[in-house]
Amino acid sequence: MSKEDSDATRDDLDERTTALIDSIARRIRTSIDKGALPSIELPVRGLTNVKYDEAQGYFALGDAHKVRTLTVNTARSFAQTLRLMATSRAMVEQDDFATKREAYYISKNWGDCRFDEQAESDAIMDDIEALASMHGLSREQLRFYPESHGGAVAGRLTVLDRNPATDAPVEIDCANLGSGAYSIPRAVEHLTFRTDARFVLAIETGGMFQRLNNHRFWDTACCIIVEMGGVPTRATRRFIRLLADKENLPVYCFVDCDPYGFTNIYRTLKVGSGNAAHINRFFCVPRARFLGVTPQDIVDFGLEDATHPLTATDIKRAQDALKNDPFIMAHPEWIAAIKQMLQMGVRAEQQALAKWGLNYVIDDYLPQKLAGTDSFLP
């Protein structure tokens, strides 16, 4: 699936989006013409309808469906679903987009079927997104964009974009932005790339990203660096995924050695999250691997006195992961690493490497780790 999805052009995707919305509308119209109550079949979202397929590499939506039929009770949400889809179709045609927040405000002119709160419009948007995802289309292709910031990018990469106003091609050389970086837009589906990089390095903190960028680590290591800034946003995850798919690049993650880094940041990037399974097929990066910081790194790189004791939250999160996280439970290496951390009783941040000098991370840690990518945690 993924490879083909990634190779589709923006125009293809727009056509498929319009065709999907049209076919739903046509089915409803046919029902009405026949005097039958129209209905929409929507995938069930949530953990009850999630499966983890290791070969596929991410939490995926199962086959359970719910049917929204037009009744007195559902008249409002039924109309809202259709109007939101109509908005989506109009945005595809006009090459425009709306944030989730804007989509909520647009409804203020819909009379009785206006949304009273954004929670309502979000829930219906999630339903439509789940439906579209079964057809290989993401929310961004429906032209509903996230509010959140994309991460920053630098390195041996040229991003091929277009001028949104004139459609003229635009090339952004991410090796030539000085001390600054390229800020990923909120929708990235239309981007293509030119690169001679050998891998993508996804970095947790902005400070570490700035260090590797200022010292042109990406030039000597022949890579692309991406700042995640904590749990990566949708746009950042999709950008990394497209890079991995289109350019066939391995993705290495460089995050803190703590349960949050393992199960929230890394796990989300790699396999997605359980309660948004309908989007994982687009946003997860199954080929991501964990460079570090690992519990063993604390020993191997002498960081013991630059650690912090695990907090109660850390311990709970780690124990939960061992007991309940299908991804962790499927990988003995991760079980061992988390048990090692619990036994050591400490966590370590990526900045802790500064104990050996500010650029120890560039001169020693990263080269040593990158010499043995086979031993990265899965």
Smallest CA-to-CA distance from 158 within 191, 109, 135 is with 191
In the complex, least distance from residue 218 CB atom to a copy of itself, rounded to whole angstroms = 11
In the complex, least distance from residue 21 CB atom to a copy of itself, rounded to whole angstroms = 18
**Does the annotation count 105 as an active-site position?**
yes
Question: Quick check: 86 binds a copy of itself (CB under 8 A)?
Answer: no
Give the footprint of a copy of itself on residues 297-326 (CB under 8 A): 305-306
Question: Quick check: 178 binds a copy of itself (CB under 8 A)?
Answer: yes
Question: Sign of torsion, CA 287 369 194 266?
Answer: positive
Q: Which pair of structure tokens corresponds to residue 367?
A: 């080269």
In the complex, least distance from residue 357 CB atom to a copy of itself, rounded to whole angstroms = 8
Q: Which is nearer to a copy of itself, 328 or 362 (CB)?
A: 362
Q: Which is nearer to a copy of itself, 31 or 99 (CB)?
A: 99
Stretch of 3-11, 36-44, 67-75, 211-219 contacting a copy of itself, by CB under 8 A:
211-219
In terms of residues, how long is the chain? 378
Question: Quick check: 109 binds a copy of itself (CB under 8 A)?
Answer: yes
Question: Quick check: 246 binds a copy of itself (CB under 8 A)?
Answer: no
Question: Quick check: 354 binds a copy of itself (CB under 8 A)?
Answer: yes
In the complex, least distance from residue 107 CB atom to a copy of itself, rounded to whole angstroms = 9
Beta strands 192-195 and 308-309 are unpaired
Question: How far, rounded to the nearest angstrom, does the alpha carbon of residue 337 sit from its chain's CA centroid?
Answer: 24
Among 179, 196, 248, 374, binds a copy of itself (CB under 8 A): 179
How far apart are alpha carbons 169 and 373 in whole angstroms?
36
- Scanning the structure block, which residue is given the tokens 């039929």? 69
In the complex, least distance from residue 257 CB atom to a copy of itself, rounded to whole angstroms = 14
Q: Which pair of structure tokens corresponds to residue 238?
A: 């999709």
CA 316, 293, 321: angle at the middle one, nearest 5?
25
Smallest CA-to-CA distance from 5 within 252, 280, 194 is with 280
- Point out which residues pair with 68 in neighbouring strands: 40
Among 184, 200, 279, 291, binds a copy of itself (CB under 8 A): 184
**Sequence-distant (≥ 6) Cβ neighbours of residue 61 within 8 angstroms:** 43, 45, 49, 50, 51, 130, 133, 134, 277, 278
Question: Quick check: 65 binds a copy of itself (CB under 8 A)?
Answer: no
How far apart are alpha carbons 348 and 43 in whole angstroms?
41
Using the 8-state DSSP alphabet, how is residue 257 labeled? B
Residues 52, 58, 104, 105: which is the catalytic one? 105
Stretch of 5-13, 65-73, 96-104, 124-132 contacting a copy of itself, by CB under 8 A:
96-104
Q: How many CB atoms neighbour CB 222 within 10 A?
A: 13
- Distances in Å between the alpha carbon of 290 and those of 263, 267, 294, 323, 367? 11, 10, 8, 21, 15
Question: Quick check: 247 binds a copy of itself (CB under 8 A)?
Answer: no
CB 259 within 8 A of CB 338: yes
In the complex, least distance from residue 42 CB atom to a copy of itself, rounded to whole angstroms = 25
Beta strands 144-145 and 157-162 are unpaired
Question: Quick check: 98 binds a copy of itself (CB under 8 A)?
Answer: yes
Q: Which is nearer to a copy of itself, 202 or 353 (CB)?
A: 353
Q: Is-cis flag, bond preceding 44, omega within 30?
A: no
Give the count of residues interacting with a copy of itself (CB under 8 A): 63
Question: Quick check: 274 binds a copy of itself (CB under 8 A)?
Answer: no
How far apart are alpha carbons 218 and 231 in whole angstroms?
22
Question: Quick check: 145 binds a copy of itself (CB under 8 A)?
Answer: yes
In the complex, least distance from residue 179 CB atom to a copy of itself, rounded to whole angstroms = 4
Query: Where do contacts with a copy of itself occur on this chain (CB under 8 A)?
Result: 91, 96-99, 101-102, 105-106, 108-109, 145, 147-150, 152, 159, 161-165, 170, 172, 176-187, 190-191, 205-207, 210-211, 213-216, 219, 227, 229, 305-306, 349, 351-359
Annotated catalytic residues are 105
